[in-house]
Every structure is written in structure tokens, then in C-alpha cells.
Structure 1
Amino acid sequence: MTNSVAEIAENEALFVIGSNTTENHPIIALRMKEAVAKGAKLIVADPRKIPLVKFATLWLRHRPGTDAVLLNAIMNAILAEGLEDKNFIAGRTEGYEEFVKSLETFTPEYGEEITGVPAEDIRKAARIYGSAKNAGIYYAMGITQHSMGTNNVHAVGNLAMLTGNVGKRAAGVNPLRGQNNVQGACDMGGLPNVYPGYQKVDDPAVKAKFEKAWGKSLPDKIGLPATMMTGAMLSGELKGMYIFGENPALSDPNTTHSVKAFANLEFLVVQDIFMTETAKLADVVLPGVSFAEKDGTFTSSERRVQRVMKAVNSPGEAQLDLDIIDQIYKRIEGKGDLDKKPVPAEIFAEVAALWPALAGVSYARLEKESVQWPCPAEDHPGTEFLFKDSFNREGGKALFTPVPFVASKELPDKEYPFVLTTGRELFHYHTGTMTRRSKGLNAIAPEAFIEINPADAESMGLVDGGKLTVSSRRGSISLKARVSNIVPPNVVFIPFHYSEAAANLLTNDAMDPVCKIMEAKVCAVKLEMC
């Protein structure tokens, strides 16, 4: 997030797109409701009538996969009504003229044709967002898990820049991360193209810095994104894999394809706290530990670094992920004291010495307070919001990026006439590795379901609770129907937590060409009564 969670309550306008915030990020949703209670105007853009809609000033029910067109049409309307921030654009951005030209065809009327949102509602959204003194955009995987996900995020950034809603309090571009330490994992270099602190693997100066610090020769070749590993496994390029804290045999789109790829490996190691669907495929399973058994730090969506302290002892032979990795490393190298365990505080200090954004953060400080990076010195208070004075580009200016209309890779047709979109529900979490082992949560949300519009149900003779078989070009599952206006006609929704009716057997593994994320939010399906 460019801004902080506490600032949400100060927003004059909020634009939520691709985020079922009340179910996926309920604490952040409370801040949004607080802002509305104080008089803020809330725009919600979502194909489903998610719970947050009830608090919205305006609900934009766009067709799945048309996010960028909707955003472009709103920006076209902002320009038509003179609501752009001319001073911000002139002083802090580049590429504006080309960007404005790219919006010419995205009139509200064209937006209505593609997205299904009435042109007048597009204009209303432009007025609400464009007229606010400070407006924040909040998004999640509802706009990223598409074959044009990068374009969608560029469009979000364009909208914030067009109205000068970046680099100031209670505004910004705010991605809501999917788990409690996704931000921290990325910060520490858990990506194929960067070292800790987003320092590029293929930058010779960066490589030299880390080689000196670590006393090792390091590769300068960018690794494979996780989504490209499936193809590499099937081709034989990738022969072994070490997976921890991930369950791709259930979470990957087109999971049949992924499971087939795992079978092609020579060796698979899975490190987890439970015997997941992926662990069942492994040659070796290593018992890791849960968050309550760890010592270290978590970094939240708002870049806030917080100490995590061990609360309970680990069962059986379970060990810290850090300790397991250290043991494997020492055995591979054939040196090092196997009885000496790594110290989390020392590792954090090492990262802080190599990444200026953490230079002012230490375990001693974190014992007293949490800190938001960048925090370049011990006497620095941390940074509530980013880009106050400049952006992280040469010259310090932000760049507008023209975003064309790119359709989803798989659209409905005669054989597969419905659009399937997937997501989470309040009572379960991702592939259910932890939550589906909770008796209390399972009592509330015991089984998979498919949401279907009443008009579609009536045309099939389907009643609420009736069973459907849902099929795509990749697989089929059977589950109970919830007949509801939550979804529009010709669109169905399935949560992806349930292994016995795995939504990702159906979803499309088409990839965004830039960031390589898969299109889990749009695919074509057909429905048959069981």
C-alpha cells in the first residue's frame, strides 16, 4: 500500500475494485465503514453484490474481465468534466499527452457497451472520485488474476495520478495483500527477479554488493515465476522442486495440469504444517511450524514491520522453516555447525544493512514499536505514505501508461455459456489447509457451493440447494447451488477452498504476458443438473 490503514477513515472518497474487502480483509473494511460513517463517498466496482455494496454511494456492476475499460471510461469522463489535477500532472508526471490520446475512444458510452455499467454511473464515479480532496483506491486479486492483470494495475495507477491522489495523506494506490506476510516475503526477496529490498538480480552493482556481503558467487539469471514452473516441469527443464507454505495442487488454475507436472519431477520436497494435497505428491515431507510457533517479523500490506514472538512449542519433530533451510544448506555445503541455529535478529540486521529502507529498523526497536518502511535511520519515524516528494524513477516523476482493451482469454460461447469467477468466503482461507481443520469454521461453512442468478436457475428448473455439475474445457466438479442475486445473469461464482469440489479444476491457466499471473477470475463453463 502506498498509504496506511489508519488513513482510510480520513478518505473523502474511496474506490474499491476487485476486492471483497469485508470477507477477505475485514479489519480494513471496518476502516472503510468508519470513513463512510464520517461522510465519505464509497464507490464499489464488482460483478458480485458483495457485502460492502450495502455501504456504497455507487455500485458499478461491471462484467468480469472489463476492469481496465471501466477505469479508462471513468478517466475519460474526468477529463471531459475538467476534474484532472493539472498541477500534479505538470509537475510530477511524464507521458501525459500519449496517455490522454489513448483514452479518446473510451467514452462512457463505449464503457457501457463493454462493461455493462450505465454511462451515467460511469460519469457519477468520475465526479465522486475526481472531486474529492483526497481519494484512495483499494484493490486485490479481483483485478490482478487476469491475463491482462498488469494492464488493470496500470489503469489504477493512471487514475490516481490523473487526479493527484498519490503522494499525499489519505489517498494513494493500495493493493490489499492476500496473506499476513506476503508483503514481508516479497520484501525479503521471495521473487525470482530480485534480492531483498527489490534489488534486481540482473543488476551487476547489486549482484556485487550481495556477493560481498554473503561471500558467495551469485547467479545473474532471473529465475522462473511460479506460474511458469508447471511448463518447465512438463518439459523436463525443471527436475526437482522444494515447496513450503504453498499448496499449488489445489491453488493453481487448471490444477489437473499442475498435478500432472508434479508427477513428472524426479524429486519433490514439501515443507508444511499439514499433509496438504501437494504434500501427498511429495517424495519427502518436512514438518514446518505455524505462525504461533515462530520467532521473527511479519510485514503487513501497509509496509508495517512487526515482531512475531513464539507463543507455543512445536509438536513432534516440527522445526522452524529457517532452521530446516539452514540444516539443508549446511549438509549440502558439507560444513557448518549443525547444532548452531540461525538467529532471526542477526538475519534481520543483515537485511537492514543491505536495504536502505530498513536501515533504521532493528529488533531492539521492534520490541517497542512497529515501523513502516522506508525507515532509513534510527531516528526516522517510518513512512506513513509513499512518494510525497518523488517517485522511484529516474528524474523522480511518475509515468502514465496507456492501457488498451484486452479481452479475457476465454469468453462464453454456445457450448460453455456462463462466466465463472472465483474467490474467497469469510469463514475459510485459501486452500483451507488450516481453516478446514477447524470444527467451528466447518460448522458454519461446511461445503462448497456455486452462486447462480435466479433467472438462470429458473431457466434450468433449478431450486436453491439443488446440485449442479459445472464443467469447463479443463475439468468438472459437482456442488450445491445457492440461488441468489449476488451474481448477475450468466455469471456464476465458486469459492476455491474446497478440495472435494476444487474450483481450480475449472479455471484457466492463461497468463498475463508481463507478470505471468494466471487468469483465475474468468473462464467459460457450462452447467448441468445432477
Structure 2
Amino acid sequence: MRKRQPKTYTRLTRPLVRDSRDEPLRQASWEEALDRAARGLARHRDAFGVFSCARATNETNYVAQKFARVVMGTNNVDSCNRTCHAPSVAGLSAVFGSGGGTSSYEEIEHTDVIVMWGSNARFAHPIFFQHVLKGIRGGARMYAVDPRRTSTAQWAESWLGLNVGTDIPMAHAIGREIIRAGLADEAFVERATTGFEEYRELVEPWTLSLAEKVTGVPARAIQELAHAYARAERAQLSWTLGITEHHNGTDNVRALINLALLTGHIGRYGSGLQPLRGQNNVQGGGDMGAIPNRLPGFQDLLDADVRLKFESAWDTVIRPHYGLNLTEMFEAMEDGGLRAVYCIGENPAQSEADSEQAVRRLRALDFLVVQDIFLTRTAELAHVVLPATAGWAETEGTTTNSERRVQRVRRALTPPGEAREDIDIICELAARLGHDWKYADAEAVWNELRSVSPDHYGMTYARLEEHQGIQWPCPGTDRLEPAYLHGRLWEPDPQRRGMPAPFGLVRHDPPVDLTDEEYPIRLTTGRRLDSYNTGVQSGGFASPLRRGEYVELCPEDAERYGVVVGEAVRVSSRRGSVVAPVWIDTALRPGLAFMTMHFPDEVDTNQLTIEANCPIAGTAEFKASAIRIEKLPAVTYVR
């Protein structure tokens, strides 16, 4: 098999329309494309959803969710936050009332213990990892909890290589050991939390020996981490998709939060919980209300006073119930409950689990409008394609990173051809559907957001420029709040004031897709340093790093299957199969394989992954599929 060249995606410069489902897309004027899009969406107000964009600006996401709620009268709006960090938002919100990371990046430079759990930050979050390295050089000890001995784990004092899907047993065993050794912060637990006795009872069975049997991690290593984390004056616990992309992702997050509550490593400088977002504005998309259950400023849609405020500001009526999230919208496509979608900057045809099923559902829609910078696989399925500007160098606005820092984005390049800014396109559609929104520029959108979101009120563009970014909450224009959240937990009597943090009573639930004799290998997925998401923006460009998709195996498994580096094999799950070349990686243990979703046009990894979703957050179990490896009849190499 000759190695296929990565696909180079076409930059969109003119609108495209499709005259019928069986005909190809053709170029059209903006007037024709917008008129068609408006007419098509108007026919489906009762069965409509918006996919907003985690790479677009805050202002774009704000206007996108406003379009859904005001123009189309629905709360069916979501983004790829659902695919990755929705469990983090759900877990943090359930305990603390807000879904943002609790610390600033700077704090990890001044902490004593760093726990990186399910996170290869050196590859997936290289800017954040530079702060981690500064912390290590300053004397912090890092512990890496991950099924693979990743590039990040190589910097750790100790690597705890647990079996995929055993994070809750590991966390419970750490919690039990902290309690047993008398290392819990009893004063903090008594003052600031609820449910401790129930938690103590829950973790009691998880002895170090039982945890070793279930997780595969030596009992002594678990004990060492428990003592180091509990004894530290300051400790940071960070996680990414290794925790969230499971059918019980929210429970995984709650299990980690429990450890912070048990030790008091929350609400103080240098101690906190940090879910690391993989795209530039995953945090901001949710903050702007591009999710089905929260209005901008992360304000609960079911709160009548909140709805009244927005109804007054927007001169509309907001439906008093949660909308469908991304996963639920795909399920509704199956039974006809959702017949039209406005997709802004997302590529779910290649990013969703069980991608063949996702494509089939998108293709069956009555009407699909895609607004993007490239002709993605999703755009190829659309009835109308609208060319947008890139969310960074061609657009004005703001974005919000993992530490809740809002920063300015400035236009530096002239957009190609007839491409228009996202906000302008959305407003043009709104006007055709009876809503004349006259925003002079992105700052006017931001000022409207500030007027309805207390957490953002104090963030004028001028102040964002002055301070080179500001973290929320920022309710006043004359001061800045502390860099960390939830300091209230250290104030007197938070329980009396109705603000305690509850322990999560979560139980171990193994992966849905069980390995057996037919599918004996556990496949886990993730990111690589040299590529980005579905490869649309990074797949067609030269890279000095190794590129292209491989199935990575440990040396023992490669020897067992009789394969060598570059040899093509068939990788099959209960949902589909792909042919991929082999890469041998000593970071893996026997029985574990690794792939990415970066090159779906070359090897569509998401044909293998399972659509088993977290019932709370709707995130799929990308991290735990059962596969088999088959050596192809003829030895084929990829160079």
C-alpha cells in the first residue's frame, strides 16, 4: 500500500448551493445563497438546531446562540464542547456552580505537586505545558496518571499507567488512603463540604490491593501519589479527554473533584482543578450560551428571572426548557425530530463517534447550511455553503482560554475572495427572517453581552487591551478579581450561607465496549503535536514531524501479530474497519493500541469508536473501543 497524501482542503471563497440532493454544489451569489438558506431554515423552525464553533470568537458564538433562540425559537444549540469537555463543565457546575477551571496558568508555576490525569499536555496543550515545566524546575513534583507513558509522563516523578476506564477506582483508592492515613483536611471538609460520611463509606472497599488488581497500577505507587497530594501545601490537578471522553465522563470528573475537596486543594492560590481545553475557544463558546441549558454568562435557562432579563434585552420570548445537545440532536435526526441544521465552523461528519452513522444522519437532513472556511466533509453534504473568515487572523473579537482569560483577537489579513465574517453572515440571515440586528462591529456585540452577563460586565475592549486579557468573573470596571475561583469555601460558615461543595457519590462502571477473544485489543484515541482535530486546517501542509495516521502498538503486540513499522494491517471494531500502517511505541503496554482522528481522509479512526454517551454530558466514549488487528495477506509497507 502506497502512503496516501494527506488531503488539502479547498479554502472557500464564494458561496455554494445545491439545486437538488443528487446534483453537485455549484457557485452562487451571496444573495442567492442567503435567500436559499433563509427559506430552507424558515420551513423547519419546529425541528431545527445550531452547531456553533469552538474555534470562532466569543462574539460569533453569542450571535449564533441568539439566532437559535430569538430567530428560530429554539434552545437546540451546542458545539464540539460536547465532544470533549462537557463532562468537565457538568461536574464542576454540580459542585461549585460554575463550569470553568478554578486556577490560572501562572499558579502551576508556584505549586508543590502537579497531578496530570488523562492528559498528554506536552502534545495537546504545549503552551500550558511550558508553565508546567517552569513549576517542575521550581521544585514541583509531577505525577502522571495515564494508560500510556506519554511525552508528558516522561517528565513526571512517577507514572501511574492505569488500565483504560479505571479512573474512578484509582481516585477512590487515593481518597481512601488519604482518609486512612489521617491526611484529609478535616476542618475544610467540615466547614465547606457536604456528603463526606457517605463518601467515606463509598471508598472504603477500594483498598490499595483491590485498586492494584483493577487498575493495574502497583499499590505502592497509588499510596505514594495519595500521600504526596494530601501532604502538599499547594497542589494542582489537571485533566483532559482521558477523563472526559468516557460513557461516565462526568462521574470521572466528580471523582477527581472529590480529591480536591478531601484535601482542601481548591479556592486558594496554587491549589485548584484545571480541565485543559483543546481548542482556542471551547470555554468561550459555553460562556457565550452556545449550549442548550445555559444563557450567556453561564446563567441557567430555567431561572425565570434570568429568562426575563434576556427576554427584555432581546425583545423575545425564550422557551423555558433545555434544548437538545449535540448528541441528542444527532439522535433526533434518526427519527425526524430534527430536520434542519445550521452548522457554523464544525465538522461533525468526521469528529463524531461512529462517523459512518453521523454521515448517514447528516445526509438524510431535509436542509443543511454549513458556514466554514474550508470545504469540509460536512460542507460537502450541505445544501448551502457560506464562506466565512478565519476565527483568528481575519476576524475582530475575543476568545476565552482554559484559565477563563478573555483575550482580544485582531484582524491582520484580508479574507480571500468573497468570504465574510461570521457575525455579518448570521445577521444577514436573521434579517431575512425578520430580525434586523444592527451591530456596528464586534465590539458592539461584546458590549451587548456585557450588559447581560455579570461575569463579563467589567471587561471593556479597552480594559482587555490594557491588561492583555482578563479572567472572569469581572463584575466591576474598577477592579480585578483573584485569579482563582471559589475562595468563598475558605470563608466562615459557607454551609450556613448555602454554598457548600458536595462530594460526588460515583461508582466504577467499566467501558461499554468490552474486549473479548474476537476483539482482544483496547483502542484509545488522542491527539498528536503536529496535527489539529480532523486535519482540515493542518492536514495539507508540510511538517517536519512524523505525519499521517498509524495504529500504534507496543513491541510485544507487534511481535505477536508478526508486523513491523510501516506494514499495513486491518483494524476492526464492532462498528467498522480501517486499514492503517503500524507504528511501534514503547509508551504502550500489551493489549493497548493508540490512534488519532487527525487524518480521517486517510484512516477514518472514528469508524471504530463507539457512540456510548455519558448520560449527563452527552460525550461519547472515544477512549475505550475494543478492536482486533489482522495482518493482511500480502506484506505491504508505507514509507
Once residues 341 and 348 of structure 1 are traced to their aligned partners in structure 2, the CA distance between those partners, rounded to angstroms, is: 10
2:47 alignment partner in structure 1: none
Checking the alignment, whether the CA contact within 8 Å between 1:7 and 1:169 is kept in structure 2 is yes
1:427 alignment partner in structure 2: 530
Please state how far the C-alpha of 1:343 moved relative to its aligned partner: 2.1
Checking the alignment, whether the CA contact within 8 Å between 1:322 and 1:342 is kept in structure 2 is no
Please tell me the residue identity of whatever aligns with 1:384.
Answer: A
Secondary structure in 1 matching 2:548:
coil
Once residues 336 and 164 of structure 1 are traced to their aligned partners in structure 2, the CA distance between those partners, rounded to angstroms, is: 51
Specify every segment of 5 or more residues in structure 1 that has no aligned partner in the other structure, as ranges: none
Please state how far the C-alpha of 1:342 moved relative to its aligned partner: 4.2
Q: Deviations over 1:120-155 (max 9, x none)?
A: 111011011111100000001110010010110001
1:470 alignment partner in structure 2: 571
1:180 alignment partner in structure 2: 280
Once residues 109 and 266 of structure 1 are traced to their aligned partners in structure 2, the CA distance between those partners, rounded to angstroms, is: 56
Once residues 301 and 144 of structure 2 are traced to their aligned partners in structure 1, the CA distance between those partners, rounded to angstroms, is: 38
Please state how far the C-alpha of 1:437 moved relative to its aligned partner: 2.6
1:417 alignment partner in structure 2: 520
List structure 1 runs of 4+ shifted beyond 4 angstroms.
391-394
1:229 alignment partner in structure 2: 329
* 2:364 pairs with 1:264: yes
Specify every segment of 5 or more residues in structure 2 that has no aligned partner in the other structure, as ranges: 1-100, 633-639
2:400 alignment partner in structure 1: 299
Please tell me the residue identity of whatever aligns with 2:479.
Answer: H
Change (3 A) 1:341 1:375: closer
Q: Deviations over 1:256-297 (max 9, x none)?
A: 110111121100111110011111111111111112111011
Once residues 213 and 375 of structure 2 are traced to their aligned partners in structure 1, the CA distance between those partners, rounded to angstroms, is: 48
1:329 alignment partner in structure 2: 430
1:507 alignment partner in structure 2: 609
Please state how far the C-alpha of 1:110 moved relative to its aligned partner: 1.2
Please state how far the C-alpha of 1:76 moved relative to its aligned partner: 0.9
2:501 alignment partner in structure 1: 398
- Which of the numbers 618, 621, 631 marks the counterpart of 1:529? 631
Checking the alignment, whether the CA contact within 8 Å between 2:120 and 2:153 is kept in structure 1 is no
1:365 alignment partner in structure 2: 463
Once residues 219 and 315 of structure 2 are traced to their aligned partners in structure 1, the CA distance between those partners, rounded to angstroms, is: 60
Once residues 343 and 546 of structure 2 are traced to their aligned partners in structure 1, the CA distance between those partners, rounded to angstroms, is: 28
Secondary structure in 2 matching 1:501:
coil
Whose RCO is larger (CA < 8 A, sep 6+)? Answer: 2
Secondary structure in 1 matching 2:485:
coil
2:120 alignment partner in structure 1: 20
2:172 alignment partner in structure 1: 72
Report % sequence identity: 39
Secondary structure in 1 matching 2:621:
coil
* 2:551 pairs with 1:453: no
* 2:245 pairs with 1:148: no
Please state how far the C-alpha of 1:220 moved relative to its aligned partner: 1.4
Checking the alignment, whether the CA contact within 8 Å between 2:427 and 2:436 is kept in structure 1 is no
- Decide which moves more: 374-383 or 492-501: 374-383
Once residues 11 and 467 of structure 1 are traced to their aligned partners in structure 2, the CA distance between those partners, rounded to angstroms, is: 46
- Which of the numbers 278, 297, 304 marks the counterpart of 1:197? 297
Once residues 143 and 446 of structure 1 are traced to their aligned partners in structure 2, the CA distance between those partners, rounded to angstroms, is: 26
- TM-score normalized by structure 2? 0.81
Once residues 457 and 345 of structure 1 are traced to their aligned partners in structure 2, the CA distance between those partners, rounded to angstroms, is: 56
RMSD of the alignment, in Å?
A: 1.4
Q: Deviations over 1:174-213 (max 9, x none)?
A: 0001211111111100101110011111222111111011
Once residues 137 and 256 of structure 1 are traced to their aligned partners in structure 2, the CA distance between those partners, rounded to angstroms, is: 36
Once residues 232 and 264 of structure 2 are traced to their aligned partners in structure 1, the CA distance between those partners, rounded to angstroms, is: 10
Equivalent pairs counted in the alignment come to: 525
Secondary structure in 1 matching 2:620:
coil
- Decide which moves more: 363-372 or 502-511: 363-372
1:479 alignment partner in structure 2: 580
Checking the alignment, whether the CA contact within 8 Å between 2:613 and 2:619 is kept in structure 1 is yes
2:481 alignment partner in structure 1: 382
Once residues 248 and 281 of structure 1 are traced to their aligned partners in structure 2, the CA distance between those partners, rounded to angstroms, is: 11
Please state how far the C-alpha of 1:329 moved relative to its aligned partner: 0.3
Once residues 206 and 176 of structure 2 are traced to their aligned partners in structure 1, the CA distance between those partners, rounded to angstroms, is: 6
Question: After superposition, where does 1:4-19 map in structure 2 within 5 Å?
Answer: 4-19=104-119
Checking the alignment, whether the CA contact within 8 Å between 2:184 and 2:230 is kept in structure 1 is yes
Please state how far the C-alpha of 1:367 moved relative to its aligned partner: 2.2
Secondary structure in 2 matching 1:173:
strand
Once residues 213 and 341 of structure 1 are traced to their aligned partners in structure 2, the CA distance between those partners, rounded to angstroms, is: 14
Secondary structure in 2 matching 1:415:
coil
